[in-house]
Structure 1
């Protein structure tokens, strides 16, 4: 997805409690067409703004999806998936709901252990557990949000997910660059931390019709 081509693709963003009450009509007017909203983190946190952010986006005409911030060393993948699904992380075939997403990256609270103090094998096992529970409960595999640097270093560049899990790539540069092992392209590219829309700036790697099919499943 070169920078020049990105401008023609549907624009989106992702938000959390940091964005608070979002003016969704303004988002739509600025060109926003989809959003991912943080629902949960590990098994201890729920975004208090999630219900109004999630419903507000849909009411304004945006496709919306929920994401979970994974902390693998805190509890099992299945346990975190179950909490996520209980608190907004589900999916339904309504043409408006994007598949659930797992944000998996360096440890947010321990810079000395970016891999969460876990081996590559253990991280893969954790993600398999999360994915299996989401699939069992929703019928969809989760989108995986990550960076190439973390993925290729911590889960040892596992190729176990690329064939069945869409990639949401985090790389805030002029082009996607190196990809996590196994994936040939990102479905969604987070290309900036700020911009015209609240929160991080994203692009769908395709057409508006393709984005709608992605939601449909």
Structure 2
């Protein structure tokens, strides 16, 4: 009986060791953490072969949905459906337009994504793309950004992320909105965070990458975790 127990203990220890090693990077000389690869796309990329995209190692994609309060990206629905069918985890983003009501922009974004199956299947947190704003009306823009974020968060019960670069944010809204997740746009090997943020959730590290299944240059992204972590960030019940 004791011998059987000893054998069982050895087997359990081996299984435990395998479990630990599976969660560690054991490659020789590795100094860089492993990230999940992603892209972000719009109609600029034209028609995309999402099966090839997934086959090339891409595991998530942010897809442009809307801009201002009247514009839907022409390829949004095709990209939304194609990415999901291929196995790519998807999320939608809105390009913020200065001088247009944040409430109106949020309402339009919500109307477009609610026409999809995101509520049943789950999706990455909605993203707000903030860039290229004029310095003359930044105070007004800040108020409208706040309205968009609060409106979308309340409607979807999911905290949005903000896409921005360090230079843009530190010039326009230093230290603001840092309770939201950061989708960092920074094309350097050593990331620089905008003032107030201590980490990034997504990192767009190139705007001119090449990916199987896409004929044009495409932005490349990373997620700050493993694939299971990425799946746990998705929101459901929209």
User: In structure 2, what is the Cα distance between the partners aligned to 1:72 and 1:11?
Assistant: 31
Q: Counterpart in 1 of 2:40?
A: 14
The answer to whether structure 1 residue 142 and structure 2 residue 142 are counterparts is no
The alpha carbon displacement at 1:128 in A equals: 1.1
The answer to whether structure 1 residue 191 and structure 2 residue 205 are counterparts is yes
Which deviations, in whole Å up to 9, do the C-alpha atoms of 1:94-149 show, x marking residues without a partner?
3x411111000113xxxxx3x3x313x33321111001110121111211000111
Q: Counterpart in 1 of 2:175?
A: 158
The TM-score normalised by the length of structure 2 is 0.78
Q: Counterpart in 2 of 1:167?
A: 182
Gaps of 5+ in 2: 1-30
The alpha carbon displacement at 1:43 in A equals: 1.7
Q: Counterpart in 2 of 1:82?
A: 107
Aligned length: 199
Quick check: which one's helix share is greater? 2
User: In structure 2, what is the Cα distance between the partners aligned to 1:41 and 1:101?
Assistant: 12
The TM-score normalised by the length of structure 1 is 0.85
The alpha carbon displacement at 1:93 in A equals: 6.1
User: In structure 2, what is the Cα distance between the partners aligned to 1:99 and 1:195?
Assistant: 23
The RMSD of aligned alpha carbons is: 1.8
User: In structure 2, what is the Cα distance between the partners aligned to 1:187 and 1:131?
Assistant: 17
The alpha carbon displacement at 1:216 in A equals: 4.3
Q: Counterpart in 1 of 2:150?
A: 132
Structure 1 stretches of 4+ with a deviation exceeding 3 A read none
User: In structure 2, what is the Cα distance between the partners aligned to 1:130 and 1:30?
Assistant: 35
